[in-house]
Amino acid sequence: MKIDFHTHPVLVREMWEKYPELEHVARDIFFIRNRPQPLETFILELTISGLDRAVLLPIDATTTRGCTIYSNQQIAELCQKDPRFIGFCSVDPHNPDAPVVLEQAVKELKLRGLKLSPPTQEFFPNDRRLVYPLYEKAEKLGIPVIFHAGMSWEPRARLKYAHPLLLEDVAADFPDLRIVIAHFGWPWVLDTIALALKYHNIYIDTACLYFGNPKHFLSFVMKEQIPLSVIEKSLREKIVFGSNYPRVEIKNMVYAISQLGLSSECLELIFSYNPQKVLGEV
């Protein structure tokens, strides 16, 4: 069971047709300009990449951007369309009722995890007053939380909110909360690695591409910024595959990871076991 842990369904044409505001959200907030594609294209991407399922990630930016980059209901709707989708929810951290919204999304909409994007939602993830109640709820619900970390292409996103070291307090204060640091925390790769080495509840996803092509970039991050042996020996159980589709095609990221020279056992962990573990399936 191979899983892509990081996708955004922002270009699904059927959803644009049903919810016309999603075009503005994709174009001007999420900042992607490619033309929309039928849902079938997304499924075909998974299929030709040899993957079985994909985690769908929304972002609730109601306070900071006046919109949701897919609502929890829209994510749930997509999950109804195809069983290969694993829906995550998002909540607005500035909403005092965020823990309640989270509980509803998990219990009523059957969403499986929480996505937060501090640079889009403009909060510091170690802000105890603002977001700790949310983490308490997520920990209680037994769901993972995936944080955007590092570089963001969104024009209004500020990197000051995205430093992975801001997640250390969260990992230490919520030891039962499974945390995924997205995008390898790039450019703060060593900081991200340090957290994943130290904290049992921190995982990293591979959804990073900021220059070059996927093969060259991931080779730079996973073989030059750190030795590949660190992944193979120390972090083999802490990395989950993520593509960041549709900013990058799934096929290209699968190819890039497969070309690194990792053992087949390690690749199996990255593509299958680790994502399932974070989801609480194994």
Partner 1 sequence: MEIFLKRLAVQTHRDKELLDITDQVEQVIKESRIKRGLVLVLTMHTSSGIIVTEGLPCIEKDILNHFTKLAPKDGDYYHNRFLDIDGRLGFNADAHLQSVLGGIFVIFPILNGQLVKGSRQRIYFAEYDGPLEREYCVQVIGE
Residues in contact with partner 1 by CB under 8 A are 30-34, 37-38, 40-41, 44-45, 48, 153, 209-216, 246-248, 251-252, 255
Identify which of residues 13 and 94 has a Cβ nearer to partner 1 in the complex: 13
Q: How far is the CB of 265 from partner 1 (least distance, A)?
A: 25
Q: How far is the CB of 264 from partner 1 (least distance, A)?
A: 21
Q: How far is the CB of 51 from partner 1 (least distance, A)?
A: 13
The contacts of residue 113 (CB under 8 Å, 6+ apart) are 55, 86, 88, 89, 143, 144, 145, 146, 278, 279
- Longest alpha-carbon distance in the chain: 48
Compute the chain's Rg from CA coordinates. Answer: 17
Q: How far is the CB of 104 from partner 1 (least distance, A)?
A: 32
Identify which of residues 37 and 95 has a Cβ nearer to partner 1 in the complex: 37
Identify which of residues 41 and 229 has a Cβ nearer to partner 1 in the complex: 41
> Which residues on adjacent β-strands are paired with residue 240?
205
Contact 195, 167 (CB under 8 A): yes
The CA-CA-CA angle for residues 277, 213, 56, to 5°, reads 35
Residue 150 backbone zone (phi > 0: left; psi -120 to 50: alpha; other: beta):
left
Identify which of residues 66 and 155 has a Cβ nearer to partner 1 in the complex: 155
Q: How far is the CB of 43 from partner 1 (least distance, A)?
A: 9
**Residue tagged 């990395």 (tokens):** 239
Q: How far is the CB of 244 from partner 1 (least distance, A)?
A: 9
Identify which of residues 247 and 277 has a Cβ nearer to partner 1 in the complex: 247
Identify which of residues 46 and 239 has a Cβ nearer to partner 1 in the complex: 46
Alpha carbon of residue 228 to chain centroid: 22
Q: How far apart are CA 141 and CA 177, in angstroms?
A: 10
